[in-house]
Structure 1
C-alpha cells in the first residue's frame, strides 16, 4: 500500500491485492499504466477523499480476484484498450455483475460512440467519458460517477459526430501545460516552485511531468526536460 499526500491531505492508494476496508466505497481503474498512471490515480484519490482507489493492469487480474474473494468495487472503470480486449466470456461476466457501477474511459471518439450505442452497456447504465480531457474535468466526472451519478460525454450522443476536446499540442504532442512544466524543470526549478509559479498543485505538476516523460520516452524529469530542449532546438 502506498501513502501519498498533497497540501497536507493524505490519500490511500491500494493495489489490487490489498483488501479494502469494509464499508468503504471503492473505485477500481483497470487499464494500461499510460492511461491510468500512478500520478493520475494519486491525484484522483486525493480529490475523492475517503473513497478508496485501486488500480489493476488487466481485466484478468480483476476477474481472478473477484472470483476468488467474491468482493467487488463499487465502481469499475475500464480504459479503451482493456474494453476492446475483452473476450466474449469476459464481457458476459462483466455485464453480469449488476451490483457495481461500470464506466468506460475512451481514447477515440468512434469507440466512445460505439459504447454509447451498445445496448448491453446502456442496460447496465454505463458511464462513458474521454480520457483526454483537462485534469479538472476528469476529476469532476470521476467524483460524480463515484457518488452514484451517471455521466455520458455529450459529444458522443450528438448525431453529428464526436468532437473530442483535445488540448492544443505542439509538434511533439505535448500540451501547453506540459511544455510550461518542462521549461521550468530545465531552468532548474523544483516541483514545488513550479506548482507555485503555474498555480497548480505539486501532484498536478508531477502528473504533467509523468505524461510528458511518457510522450518523450524519458525515464525521469531531468531527462524529459533535456530531451524537450534538444528536440526544440
Structure 2
C-alpha cells in the first residue's frame, strides 16, 4: 500500500507517518501543502490512499479534496482534522471523501483506519458525526500554553523550566494538567492536539 500524507505541521506529520508503519505499507510520502501533494501524485503516480489536512495551505475548504480526487485518479482521498465541526465532516463525506479522520486517533486505530479506507470503505468515528456541546476554545492557562509551546518546539521539561524561570517539577505538573485538559495520552499527543486546535 502506498500512502501520501499532507499536513503543514511537522510534528503532526511525522507522528502520523510513524503511526502508519505496517508490514503492508510499502511507501509513505509526506508533504506540507496541497500543491506539494498534487506534485507528488503527478511525479510518482496515484496513491492507494491520500490523507489531507483540512486546514493546511491550499485546501480552501473542501475544494482541495475535489482537486486531489481528480488528480489521484479516483483512488481514496480522506480528510484529517481534530477540530473541524460535525457539519464539515458530513460535507466532506458527502463530497466523496473516503473518510474524516481525527489526528488524535491512537496509533493502532490510525493504521486500521488507513487500511479500511484504502480497501474502499468509508471511515468516520461516530463521535465526529454526532452533536456535541461546544467546548471552551482554549481551556489552558497562560502558563500551560507556554509549556505546551515548549513541548511543540521539542524542548525537555528542564529546558522549558529554564526558559520560563521555574523548577522542572513545576513544568512536569503543568504538563500533567494540560494533558488532562486536552485528554492527551502523552507529551507528543498533547503537542499534536495543541497545534491542531491552534491553542498556542
Q: TM-score, normalised by structure 2?
A: 0.60
Identify the residue that residue 216 of structure 1 maps to in structure 2.
151
Question: Deviation of residue 216 (structure 1)?
Answer: 2.6
Gaps of 5+ in 1: 1-24, 174-211
Contact 2:80/2:100 (<8 A) preserved: yes
- For this pair of structures, how many residues does the alignment match? 160
CA distance in 2, matches of 1:49, 1:150: 19
Which digits, 9 at most, give the CA deviation of each residue in 1:30-69, with x for residues without a partner? 0123563324312322x354431111111111223434x3
Specify the structure having the higher radius of gyration (Cα). Answer: 1
- CA contact 1:58–1:82 (8 Å) conserved in 2: yes
Separation of aligned partners in 2, 1:83 and 1:116: 21
Which residue in 1 is equivalent to 2:169? 229
Select the structure with the greater relative contact order (CA < 8 A; seq sep ≥ 6): 2
Paired residues of 1:30 and 1:59 also in contact (CA < 8 A): yes
User: Is 1:33–1:57's contact at 8 Å kept on the other side of the alignment?
Assistant: yes
1:151 to 119, 123, 132: 123
Separation of aligned partners in 1, 2:169 and 2:103: 27
Select between 144-153 and 83-92 the one with higher mean Cα deviation. 83-92
Q: Cα RMSD over matched residues?
A: 3.7
Local SS of the residue matching 1:36: helix
Separation in 2 of the partners of 1:154 and 1:88?
Answer: 21
Do the aligned residues in 1 keep the contact of 2:51 with 2:77 (CA within 8 Å)?
Answer: yes
Q: Which runs of 5+ in 2 are unaligned?
A: 163-167, 175-200
- Aligned residue in 2 for 1:31: 7
TM norm structure 1: 0.53
Q: Which has the higher strand share?
A: 1
Q: Relative to structure 1, is the Cα distance of residues 40 and 219 closer, same or farther in structure 2, using a 3 angstrom cutoff?
A: same
Q: Alignment partner for residue 81 of structure 1, among 55, 60, 64?
A: 55
Structure 2 residue 31 is matched with structure 1 residue 61:
no
Give the conservation status (yes or no) of the 8 Å contact 2:6–2:30.
yes
8 Å Cα contact 2:4/2:49 also seen in 1: yes
What is residue 127 of structure 1 aligned with on the other side? 99
Matched, 1:42 2:18: yes
